[in-house]
Amino acid sequence: MQIYIDGSFYPESEAKISVFDHGLLYGDGVFEGIRFYGGKVFRLEEHMERLYKSAAAIALTVPLDMPALTEALLETIRRNRLTDGYIRLVVTRGKGDLGLSPWNCPKPTIIIVAAKITLYPEESYEKGLKVVTCATRRIAHGALSPMVKSLNYLNNIMAKIEASHAGAGEGLMLNEQGLVAECTGDNIFLVSGGRITTPPISSGALAGVTRAVAIKLAGELGIEVSEPQTTRYDIYTADECFLTGTAAEIIPAVELDSRPIGNGKPGPVTRLLIERFRELTQKEGTPF
């Protein structure tokens, strides 16, 4: 495996960053997870735009412009001789000291890793995931905007631990008002009466790239999509539920808090969207 760090490529055993890097010490940085299929990177421009917006929001200047960073990403895939896989693109504040001040970090660090990924087994796409509501609430906008895809994922990790201890495949996270925000690593959608809903970004969800793709695909199928404030009641009483994320793609959720959603099986709308999404990933993307 060849890993890109600040303009050079290193084998995995030699890929190192400083122990004084503020990404390690404080989770001070941003990242993107990006998929590529059949020699093409899916929704690359959208991921790159979100990375630069996340960086701007935390006053972090990415040391390469977007075209140069894009080429570094594509070259990382080429060097690893992969046609299908996952990219982790990370920009940290860089090496500094043990103090909090970002101004003592003169140069940000860029890391690009290309590898294979399997988030859920195929069985989960056939049978659906069990989900539980987590006690850990989603970080409020006033503390750290959920729009920023930062390196500090402890909020999500604590909720993921809860879900794992409960024997569930995913955990549902509510905001401080008790409204549905998102799952620990995925956006959530409901199907009721032939219409699709998903919580608004203002409720504490990340503006997911796959979320946007799912909304677009539903529109092409003539299915109405809206973004109302959502409660657990809405999930308990929905006909279908599915989750979206770069690593997860589109995956059914069939149970919340031991209550079946709909008939407790992946529904027809969910299955159709999975099929259309998989077709799309094979047709569209940035070739490398």
Q: Tokens representing 161? A: 């631990």
Q: CA-CA distances (angstroms) from residue 137 to 126, 155, 235? A: 29, 8, 17
Residue 116 annotated among the catalytic residues of the structure: no
Q: How far is residue 148's CA from residue 218's CA, in Å, rounded to a whole number?
A: 26
User: Could you tell me the end-to-end alpha-carbon distance of the chain, in angstroms, rounded to an integer?
Assistant: 17
The strand pairing partners of 60, in sequence order, are none
Q: Tokens representing 67? A: 């075209």
Q: How far is residue 189's CA from residue 136's CA, in Å, rounded to a whole number?
A: 20
The sheet carrying 85-92 orders its strands as 8-11, 2-5, 109-115, 85-92, 29-37, 40-41, 286-287
Q: 149, 160, 265, 283: which is the annotated catalytic residue? A: 149
Q: What does the H/E/C string look like for 139-153?
A: CCCCCCCCCCCECCC
Which residues are annotated as catalytic?
Answer: 149
